[in-house]
Amino acid sequence: MNEQERVQGHRTPSLSFLFRNAEGLEKLRDEIVRTARVTGNLASVGCSQGQEAYSIAALLCSQGLDKWKIEGYDINPENIERANEAIYHVRSKPIGSKRHKEAWEYVSRFADEPYGYFELENSAKDEFEEELGAHTAKPSNILRKMCDFACHDIVGGILPIAYDAISCNNVLRYYLEQPEQLSQFMRNLTLSLSPNGLLLIDSPFVLNLVNDEDECTEPIITTCLSENFRTIYESDFNNLYQRNY
């Protein structure tokens, strides 16, 4: 993939949905709670149309952590426009999968009292939407105030500021076959972390450790020192990929 293709996002589909990889996001939230980080800033890198950022905002908010600021970054400017519009349709491929239903259960739960983090519009167009009982979800003002979005290419450079936590899911897979870009990706990601920052990245499904996305449970979450990115790169990633860069 050359730089132009990468920047235009030709090879990086924008598939995402609210509470995709919810277990990973919860794990990150739990680590934030466990380490008593009452406030901080978090980047969702490769945020697509903002679904991950709003999901994290809801999970933090439900623990009283609404002082956190979340910035979603994506290489594709159209995604950033959609993230700012923040209207999410329940329909997403593959329609009807277990993971989509589970994800939508989070949306429903957080739409209800006492949370009210999403406004749902009931206008189901087909049986699947009927079963889920809603058709669009819009994040409430409280979540919108926590989230901002900007265009950024993580392979091209580090984030504009350092973050206390970074979540980066389902992006790395597009760089597995380009060692130089993968190295830049990991370098820029980890250099964008504050000292002792938390990094949540991908899942065993993405890392080809399981074959079925529905089976994926354990995401990788790690703390690393921003000046010491090689620690995480070598120990976690080289082993998992079983490659030598």
| Candidate list 92, 170, 190, 203; residue touching ligand SAM; CB under 6 A | 170
> For tokens 């680590």, what's the residue?
31
Please give the DSSP secondary-structure letter assigned to residue 17.
-
| Candidate list 171, 182, 199, 206; residue touching ligand SAM; CB under 6 A | 171
- Kind and range of the H or E element at 22? helix 22-34
**Cα radius of gyration (the chain):** 17
| Candidate list 19, 40, 71, 74; residue touching ligand SAM; CB under 6 A | 74
Query: What are the backbone dihedrals phi and psi of residue 25, each rounded to the nearest 5 degrees, phi first?
Result: -65, -40
Min dist CB 120 to ligand SAM, Å, is 20
38 C-beta neighbours (distance < 10 Å), count: 10
Site for ligand SAM in 11-70 (CB under 6 A): 12-16, 20-21, 46-48, 51-52
Write each residue from 81 to 120 as x if it is in contact with ligand SAM (CB under 6 A), else as -, in one continuous string.
Answer: ----------------------------------------
**Residue 177: CB partners within 8 Å, gap ≥ 6?**
none
Min dist CB 36 to ligand SAM, Å, is 27
**Residue 117: CB partners within 8 Å, gap ≥ 6?**
57, 58, 61, 62, 110, 111, 139, 140, 142, 143
Min dist CB 169 to ligand SAM, Å, is 4
Site for ligand SAM in 134-153 (CB under 6 A): 152-153
Report the DSSP beta bridge partners of residue 198.
165, 223
Of 119, 147, 138, nearest to 61 (Cα)?
A: 147
The number of residues that bind ligand SAM (CB under 6 A) is 27
> Which is closer to ligand SAM, CB of 52 or CB of 71?
52
Segment contacting ligand SAM (CB under 6 A): 34-42, 117-125, 165-173, 215-223? 165-173
Q: Which residues contribute to the site for ligand SAM (CB under 6 A)?
A: 6, 9, 12-16, 20-21, 46-48, 51-52, 73-76, 79, 152-155, 169-171, 174
